[in-house]
């Protein structure tokens, strides 16, 4: 890279026929420019320039070197400009692993918006609850909720979603309205994977409540629908239940209490990302924030 930089400096000196004019164009001290060209001549083993007090002329070797270097420098500049254009309007297939329910209920309109911004990108979207292997599987990025994954992977936090308590009006009419976290122990609470405890806080204190119920599932969408069908109470981010709340199928209860914030991560195998992946992660970070 240093050699290419020195070649570019030499081309400017040759074009300007002097160090002073080239230094002004390059925005660097005349003495620094002269020292770099002298080091280049020493590395090559040939004098490239005839220096006089009034002007600088190319030697025979310098003329040959200038013609070759100019093409190389022009090609490098063109490549740099084209990469800049690629960053501005990336293309290619973007392969993304997404959590099922969050993708359907919340990310889908954001993905559509991103697709409109970058028409050169096509999408291969895999909706799954499993943690895909970013090393052996051909994904550019995985969006995950909750704890970050393997420490060998790169986890970029996008946003933090806070969970709240929701139930259907009919369930509350039948089973009663909880007035304190302890009341949840006597209610049907719809849990993910297995019975356990819900950690709630009101800004001043944090409590852990043992909860249980008739339904356990590994799918957030199913639990959301069961709650809308009057089967119990769920603890979920408002982004997940927004449609049911808007339709009056669910309402928030114990509004002063909320669950532990859940972080949304963009997981990648490496920090060196293609433009399409960089833009996608940046877009989600901005929109989710």
What is residue 82's predicted lDDT score, i.e. its pLDDT?
66
> In a 3-state reduction of DSSP, which class is residue 256?
coil
Q: Which CATH superfamily does the domain covering 92-154+264-288 fall into?
A: Periplasmic binding protein-like II (3.40.190.10)
Longest dimension (CA), the chain: 99
pLDDT (0 to 100) of residue 6: 87
Average of per-residue pLDDT values in the chain:
88
Cα separation, 14 vs 203, whole angstroms: 69
CA distance 265 to 193: 21
Predicted confidence (pLDDT) at residue 214 exceeds the cutoff of 60? yes
Domain locations along the chain: 2-87, 92-154+264-288, 163-260
Whole-number pLDDT of residue 86: 65
Whole-angstrom Cα distance, residue 34 to residue 43?
14
pLDDT number for residue 78: 75
> What is the spatial distance between Cα 14 and Cα 54, in angstroms, rounded to a whole number?
14
| Residue (of 200, 170, 169) closest to 183 by Cα position | 200
The fold for domain 163-260 equals: D-Maltodextrin-Binding Protein; domain 2 (3.40.190)
pLDDT tens for residues 156-207?
999 998 999 999 999 999 999 999 999 999 999 998 766 688 999 998 999 9
Per-residue pLDDT at 149 exceeds 60: no
Q: What's the gap between Cα 253 and its chain centre? A: 34
Whether residue 189 contacts residue 232, with contact meaning beta carbons closer than 8 Å, is answered with: yes
Domain pair 2-87 / 163-260, same fold: no
Q: What is the pLDDT of residue 231?
A: 97
Segment 49-92, tens digit of pLDDT: 998 767 788 999 999 998 889 888 888 877 776 676 666 788 88
Q: In a 3-state reduction of DSSP, which class is residue 76?
A: helix
Supply the pLDDT for residue 24. Answer: 87
pTM here?
0.65
Tokens of 178: 């909880």
Q: Are strands 92-98 and 141-145 parallel, antiparallel or unpaired?
A: parallel
Q: 2-87 domain in CATH 1.10.10.10?
A: yes
Closest CA to 269 of 156, 154, 157, 158: 154
């Amino acid at each position: 890279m240093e050699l290419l930089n020195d070649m570019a400096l030499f081309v400017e000196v040759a074009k300007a026929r002097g160090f002073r004019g080239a230094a002004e164009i390059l925005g660097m001290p005349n003495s620094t420019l002269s020292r770099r060209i002298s080091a280049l001549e020493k590395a090559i083993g040939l004098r490239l320039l005839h220096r006089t007090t009034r002007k600088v002329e190319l030697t025979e070797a310098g003329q040959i070197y200038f013609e070759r270097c100019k093409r190389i420098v022009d090609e490098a500049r063109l490549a740099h400009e084209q990469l800049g254009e690629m960053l501005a309007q990336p293309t290619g297939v973007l392969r993304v692993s997404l959590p099922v329910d969050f993708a359907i209920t919340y990310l889908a309109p954001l993905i559509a918006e991103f697709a409109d911004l970058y028409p050169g990108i096509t999408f291969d979207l895999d909706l799954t609850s499993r943690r895909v292997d970013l090393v052996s599987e051909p994904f550019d990025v995985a969006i995950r909720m909750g704890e970050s994954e393997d420490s060998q992977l790169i986890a970029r936090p996008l946003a933090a979603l806070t969970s709240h308590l929701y139930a259907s009006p009919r369930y509350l009419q039948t089973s009663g309205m909880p007035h304190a976290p302890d009341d949840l122990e006597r209610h049907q609470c719809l849990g993910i994977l297995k019975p356990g405890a819900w950690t709630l806080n009101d800004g001043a204190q944090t409590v852990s409540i043992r909860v249980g119920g008739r339904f356990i599932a590994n799918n957030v969408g199913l639990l959301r629908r069961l709650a809308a069908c009057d089967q119990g109470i769920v603890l979920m981010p408002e982004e997940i239940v927004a449609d049911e709340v808007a339709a009056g199928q669910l309402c928030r209860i114990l509004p002063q209490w909320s669950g532990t914030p859940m972080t949304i991560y963009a997981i990648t195998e490496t920090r060196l990302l293609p433009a399409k992946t960089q833009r996608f992660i940046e877009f989600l970070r901005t929109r989710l924030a």
